[in-house]
Amino acid sequence: MEKKLLEEKYKLVEKLGVHLEGKDHLAPVAARILAYIILTGKEGSTFEDLVSNLCASKSTISTHLTHLQSLDRISYFTKTGDRKKYFIVNSANFLQSIDHMISEWESEKNLHKEISEYKLKVNKLDSTLNEFEFDLTFHDKYIEFLKLAIASISDLKTKIVANNIKTQP
């Protein structure tokens, strides 16, 4: 790999690692391992790659690989005639994350619908007090945003599933 591109990869491993630490509550080394594997892609990362490129001890890498596998964040494949394991991102876990995201957004959308409906009833009841009437613009816009976000991420999930089916042996 070109030196400049490799430097960029290491910077992104660090940046993505910090993000995954906070978002997924991963230990720093586990987050860097996952980031490195994500940025390596389908070719997979070997144990030796991770030890040398992340400058961590074998036992530390081993512990965190085991943990990430137990979380179903990563899996591995082997190549005929090669005793090494090649670690890759577990796409099934990614799909579960998308499902969780959709579920949370649907729940939030429904809550805002209920709040909006309640405020509309209050507005109709106190129609003489226009200056104290609830403004429903935020809720309407937010509900619309959530609908579009749900549709977009659902479309992405459909494409990922279709692509995984095509790439399975």
Of 67, 89, 111, the last residue of a domain is 89
pTM of the model: 0.72
Q: What sign for the dihedral angle of Cα 142, 148, 151, 155?
A: negative
End-of-domain residue from the set 65, 89, 113? 89
- CA distances to 42, 97, 168 from 46, in Å: 12, 25, 21
> Both 7 and 56 in a single domain?
yes
Residues 76 and 129 reside in one and the same domain: no
**Would you give per-residue pLDDT tens digits along the chain (169 residues)?**
698 998 999 999 999 999 999 988 999 999 999 999 999 988 999 999 999 999 999 999 999 999 999 999 999 999 999 999 999 998 888 888 899 999 999 999 999 999 999 999 888 886 666 777 889 999 999 999 999 999 999 999 998 888 876 554 3
Please check whether residues 85 and 8 belong to one and the same domain.
yes
Q: Which of 51, 70, 89 lies at the terminal end of a domain, its last residue?
A: 89
Number of domains in the chain: 2
Q: Domain limits at 71? A: 3-89
